[in-house]
A and B are shown apart, each in its own frame.
Chain A
Amino acid sequence: MAKQHKAIALISGGLDSMLAVRVIQEQGIEVEGINFYTGFCVEGHTHAIRNEDKQKKKRNNALWVAEQLGIKINIIDVVQEYKEVLLNPKHGYGMNMNPCLDCKIFMVGKAVEWIKKNHANGFDFIITGEVIGQRPMSQRKLAMPIVAAESGADDILLRPLCAKNLPATRPELEGWIDREKLYDFSGRVRTPQMALAEEYGFTDYATPAGGCCFLTDKNYSRKLVDLWQGRSSRAYELDDIMLLKVGRHLRPKGNYKLIIARDEGECQYLEGYLKQYISIQPVSHNGPLALIDGEIEPEDYKHAASIVARYGQGRNADNVEMTFTLPNTNAQSIMVQPLTTDQVLIEWHV
């Protein structure tokens, strides 16, 4: 009896990986999915923080795609290991702090590791939804063999959507799959993918603008660099990178930054950090909770509170009572005059 060949697919939750899996399933290959959580995934951060986001459909697209395709999915926490990818990318960064090529090499490499670790389950090759020319950094034609070589996947890495534009891989050469039934997509145009989606009856799929990673986002990248500069260190923890997604970030002095909630949802989220961060909150008026990241001097307390007061309902009052709370201590009351709009300098905004 012929061996049932099996593939592990990198699933981002977007259309391309969804199509890549279906193309391979159509050839009788059993597929399982793998998804990596770096801490920067757009999929991860978007639920449950801002009020405006609470109305959005709450689903993790990688899980959703796996269920639509009828495949198992393994979500792997790579937050710690990913730091090395972000901090020291061999192939450098893209337009922002996105180390896309190193990231792809890392993820395919993790899939290789996963195959070895789960060798008893008999996985033979790896598939991705990559398309030549789709992304400027990691999906250039020249980058494709680099990913295969540096990840250690070599000829067991198959890109079903653009395979015909690339040298044949082992699954094709060994006849596990029919190369003729693979595709030759290339470039940034999405029409072929959309046509294939229609052919497969996929009508609902995620189309995240700017990709699936916050590191491709200009504003997010700027906040990340500011965090590193403010601390004179590029070390970071998961909480640090989560907080970059929440609130208004203002740095009135080099040694500290304010993270000011923009709505009730963000206030609730920031409350989870009260044991780790100094916080400021209005008492006499409604207004936002703010956290202080950094080493604030006591002489700056009043100034910081007057900035936060500007974003509350007491912004036009002569004085606003605020509380200043250090972790695990009682709150200190402080009276401040809220800054005016002009007094909140543009250069403070991160």
Chain B
Amino acid sequence: MRYKLDARRMLCPMPVIKTQNRIKELAVGDILEIVCTDSGALSDIPVWARIHGHEIVETEKKEGEVVIAVRVKS
């Protein structure tokens, strides 16, 4: 399943915290797509994902927003 998380207007680490909390509710193989306006999320969410063994499947930067898709691995 693919899910969305709106983390716009949040400054890091809130997008990371929201991602961390939402991923706890998802199943292995699910994908969470996080939309952020803090470009720091482009660094922080992948680091968080690597630490916890999840996979970044997509990152995209467009007009003041970044979109990061994480596949739940464990």
Interface residues of A (CB under 8 A from B): 35, 37, 41, 43-45, 47-49, 54, 58-60, 62-64, 66-67, 71-77, 242, 268, 272
Query: How many angstroms between the C-alpha atoms of A294 and B14 in the bound complex?
Result: 26
- Closest residue on chain B to residue A239 by CB atoms: B9
Task: Pick from A45, A67, A75, A272 the residue with the most CB of B within 10 Å.
Answer: A75
Q: Are A272 and B47 neighbours in the complex by a CB distance under 8 Å?
A: no
Q: Are A48 and B37 neighbours in the complex by a CB distance under 8 Å?
A: yes
Query: 1/0 per residue B1-36: CB within 8 Å of A?
Result: 000000011011110110010000000000000000
Q: Are B44 and A60 neighbours in the complex by a CB distance under 8 Å?
A: yes
Query: How many angstroms between the C-alpha atoms of A45 and B11 in the bound complex?
Result: 6
Interface residues of B (CB under 8 A from A): 8-9, 11-14, 16-17, 20, 37-40, 42-44, 47-48, 50-52, 64
Q: Are A63 and B11 neighbours in the complex by a CB distance under 8 Å?
A: no
Q: Are A242 and B11 neighbours in the complex by a CB distance under 8 Å?
A: yes
Q: Is the interface of A mostly helix, strand, loop or mixed?
A: mixed
Q: Are B39 and A58 neighbours in the complex by a CB distance under 8 Å?
A: yes
Q: Are B47 and A67 neighbours in the complex by a CB distance under 8 Å?
A: yes
Contacts of B48 in A (CB 8 A): 63, 73, 75
Query: How many angstroms between the C-alpha atoms of A268 and B11 in the bound complex?
Result: 13
**Distance (whole angstroms) from the CB of A15 to the closest CB of chain B:** 18
Query: How many angstroms between the C-alpha atoms of A37 and B39 in the bound complex?
Result: 19
Query: How many angstroms between the C-alpha atoms of A250 and B13 in the bound complex?
Result: 28
**Distance (whole angstroms) from the CB of A114 to the closest CB of chain B:** 14
Q: Are B11 and A48 neighbours in the complex by a CB distance under 8 Å?
A: yes
Contacts of A44 in B (CB 8 A): 11-14
Contacts of A74 in B (CB 8 A): 20
Contacts of A49 in B (CB 8 A): 11
Q: Are A72 and B39 neighbours in the complex by a CB distance under 8 Å?
A: no
Contacts of A41 in B (CB 8 A): 13
A63 and B51 in contact (CB under 8 A), knowing A44-B13, A77-B17? yes
**Besides A63-B13, A63-B47, 7 new A-B residue pairs in contact (Cβ under 8 A), listed by A number:** A43-B12, A47-B39, A47-B40, A48-B12, A63-B44, A63-B48, A75-B20
**Distance (whole angstroms) from the CB of A267 to the closest CB of chain B:** 12
Contacts of B20 in A (CB 8 A): 74-75
Contacts of A67 in B (CB 8 A): 47, 50-51
Query: How many angstroms between the C-alpha atoms of A73 and B47 in the bound complex?
Result: 11
**Distance (whole angstroms) from the CB of A208 to the closest CB of chain B:** 15
